[in-house]
Amino acid sequence: MTRPERFRYFLDYFITYFPEPKTELLYGNPYELIVAVVLSAQCTDKRVNQVMPPLLAAFPTPAHLGVATADDIFPFIRSVSYPNNKAKHLAGLGRMLAEEFGGEVPSQLDELQRLPGVGRKTANVVASVIYNQPAMAVDTHVFRVSHRLGLVPKTATTPLAVEKGLVRHIPEALIPKAHHWLILHGRYVCVARSPKCGICPLAAGCRYYEQNVAPLLGVIEGPAKVAAKPKRSPKQP
């Protein structure tokens, strides 16, 4: 199966069975989302969703966050990963939003990346989720799933290389959705240590399955013979 064929298989499945994916981070406005995404680095969405309500009760706007110190913020986020650094980032983020952007979260990637704690991945998430821009955020799930499915070449060894490889083949209008599709598939099916290939609806179009699983099962005709059509996994969100 060629790379364009793999992309078509991937897109056709999710367009059909999961047409409106959403982030699992809970938020009510752009400020809340950017705070949540900063906290989510190397941390689960479930944990972030737990700490956000009391954090927002204390710092409901960028102005409130901007006058806080890292020490003020730390007790609210102590249970997330790297709380000391993230407390410093959030204090600086609040100040910059309040002082330079009028309390509004900017929509441009270059402006977003000026904010403390906001790298390219976080900026892409905000641009995609809030402003529906064709921005592909590459986290560990997107990186892993893109390689396993064969959507990007093995030479794509950096998040930026994976990002470029994905946006080259995905229609602009679908990029914001494809970001969620890849993340959720990696979170629930194509997990890091033991991918659930037996229930994966994308197995018939997957390079990893073709090279590592099908031979063990005696499937020698190729991945297209594994399934006549995509099937929805019971674990698929």
Enzyme catalytic residues:
121, 139
Q: Is 216 exposed, middle or buried, given 0-12, 13-18 or 19+ CB atoms closer than 10 A? A: exposed
Phi, then psi, of 210 in degrees rounded to 5: -60, -40
Q: Which helix (H) or strand (E) holds 228?
A: none
Residue written as token pair 């069975």: 17
| Cα–Cα distance for residue pair 145/37, rounded to 1 Å | 20
| Cα–Cα distance for residue pair 16/12, rounded to 1 Å | 6
- Could you tell me the CA-to-CA distances from 110 to 94, 95, 122 in Å, in that order? 17, 18, 12
